[in-house]
Structure 1
Amino acid sequence: MVAPSDNDMLWARSLQHSHNGSPALGGVSLDVRDGEILAVTGPRGSGKTTLLHCLSGQLVPQEGEVWFNGVPVHTMGPRMREQLRRDRFGWIAADPQLVPELTTWENAALPLLLRGVSHRAAKKAAAEWLDRLDIGPLAEERPHTLLQAQRQRISVARALTASPSVIFADEPTASLHRAEGAQLLRTLTTATRSHGITVVLATHDTETAALADRTVALLDGRRVTGVTQPAATDTEGRSACSLSV
């Protein structure tokens, strides 16, 4: 086994995984440096989400290794992986995945509350990020009363409030119109750079990938080179991508 580099926060080698017999990853290796924004690109179905799930400990690869800060994630038990995700990782999905019974600030503060942080301290930390994301006045609202863009801002605030080492963002603007998505990404990338947070960003959109420091491309569950995805605009203002190799 080759040891992970000291400069790599995340390190994965030869990841293989299948879903119900259908290959999702076929020997993917990559490294993610401390403090960088890495874009994982490729068309839908290329394995981006499965890769992020393996890197974040949500999924144990059937073969291969995942290391975080020199610690093997792939050999951890469920409880240790859950603690790692709660304490060190943030997650932003295409769907906000909010708890409907909780208010805006409670959803944003949820990782801190689960760690045992006091309500006062957790609410203060959440309020700071909600204000930066221009939804501070909605702190006492519940998700069903909000617009999709507002709910997605809460999910970004939740990831940032936890002060994670790494944020995994899986197509975070897929459900938003282009202008709303661009504003959200600017806030996210500015915030993570200023706080030294590493980001692994899965996207099929070239304009989104251009915000990253570095890009790796997937196709049919494998890393590839020479992949281009020309950005086009669909009727709702979102990017429609094509792939050429």
Structure 2
Amino acid sequence: MVAPPDNDVLWARGLHHAYRGTTALAGVSLGVQEGEILAVTGPRGCGKTTLLKCLSGQLRPTEGEVWFNGSPVHSLSSLSRERLRLDRFGWIDTEPHLVPELTAWENAALPLLLRGAGHRSAKHAAVEWLDRLDVGMCARRRPSQLDQSQRQRVAIARALTTTPQVLFADEPTAPLHHSDGTQVLRTLTTAARSHQITVLLATHDPDTATLADRSIALLDGCRSDASPATAGSSDEESRAACSLSV
């Protein structure tokens, strides 16, 4: 086992994963520095979501290593990985997945409340993010009273209220119209940079990827980007593993 570079907050080596015999990842390696916004690009079905889930501890890779702040994630128990996600990570899904019985601000404040934050401070943080995402007027409404765009903005606010160290965003603006999506992404990336939040942004949209500091590309579960300017040792290993798997 080789420890990751000191300047990488998140580091993965040789990740493999399969669903019922179908390969989703085939030897993907990468490193992400603190405060960096990294776009993971590629067509639908190329392995972007699986990669983010392995990096965030939602899935344990079949093979390979994931390290966060110099500590192994891949060897943690399910309970420890769940605690890591609650304490250090944020997640924005393609669909909002809000709790229907809770209001918008309660949904946005939920991660803080689960951490043990006080009701007043959690509500203040939630409402502040709802305002920044232009859904402050919806704070007291339940998800059934919101349209799809508003629900997704609430879900994004929920991921940002805790100021996570790493934010995983899986096609976060897919339910939004293009103009709304661009505005929300700019809010998200501006917040990430001002708070030194590391972001992994999965997208199939080239315009979205331009908002990131750097991009990597996946195709059929493999790293398909081969630019010498972005290739490190883990990148070379990733491409070598993919060449052996096809």
Task: Report if TM-score (shorter chain) is over 0.5.
Answer: yes
1:180-223 Cα offsets, whole Å, 9 max, x none, are 11111011011111111000000000000010000000000000
Q: What CA distance in whole angstroms lies between the structure 2 residues aligned with 1:43 and 1:194?
A: 30
In structure 2, the residue matched to 1:180 is 180
Q: What does 1:1-245 align with in structure 2 at a 5 Å threshold?
A: 1-225=1-225
Task: Please state whether the residue corresponding to 1:156 is helix, strand or coil.
Answer: helix
Residue 60 of structure 1, CA deviation: 0.3
Task: Please state whether the residue corresponding to 2:157 is helix, strand or coil.
Answer: helix
Residue 2 of structure 1, CA deviation: 2.8
Q: Which runs of 5+ in 1 are unaligned?
A: 228-245
Q: Which amino acid aligns with 1:150?
A: Q
Q: What CA distance in whole angstroms lies between the structure 2 residues aligned with 1:177 and 1:226?
A: 32
Q: Which amino acid aligns with 1:39?
A: A
Q: What CA distance in whole angstroms lies between the structure 1 residues aligned with 2:200 and 2:72?
A: 18
Residue 18 of structure 1, CA deviation: 0.1
Residue 118 of structure 1, CA deviation: 1.5
Task: Please state whether the residue corresponding to 2:60 is helix, strand or coil.
Answer: coil
Residue 225 of structure 1, CA deviation: 2.2
Q: Which has the higher contact order (CA 8 A, sep 6+)?
A: 2
Q: Which amino acid aligns with 2:174?
A: A
Q: What CA distance in whole angstroms lies between the structure 2 residues aligned with 1:197 and 1:168?
A: 10
Residue 226 of structure 1, CA deviation: 6.0
Residue 116 of structure 1, CA deviation: 1.3
Runs of 4+ in 1 over 6 A off after TM superposition: none
Q: What CA distance in whole angstroms lies between the structure 2 residues aligned with 1:27 and 1:82?
A: 24
1:109-149 Cα offsets, whole Å, 9 max, x none, are 01011111121111011111111111112111001111111
Q: What CA distance in whole angstroms lies between the structure 2 residues aligned with 1:226 and 1:79?
A: 37
TM-score of the superposed pair, with normalisation by structure 2: 0.90
Count of residue pairs brought into register by the alignment: 227
Q: Which amino acid aligns with 2:206?
A: T
Q: Which amino acid aligns with 1:192?
A: A
TM-score of the superposed pair, with normalisation by structure 1: 0.91
Query: Which has the larger displacement, 1-10 or 207-216?
Result: 1-10
Task: Please state whether the residue corresponding to 1:121 is helix, strand or coil.
Answer: helix
Q: What CA distance in whole angstroms lies between the structure 1 residues aligned with 2:211 and 2:89?
A: 21
In structure 2, the residue matched to 1:236 is none
Q: What CA distance in whole angstroms lies between the structure 2 residues aligned with 1:224 and 1:137?
A: 43
Q: What CA distance in whole angstroms lies between the structure 2 residues aligned with 1:226 and 1:84?
A: 32
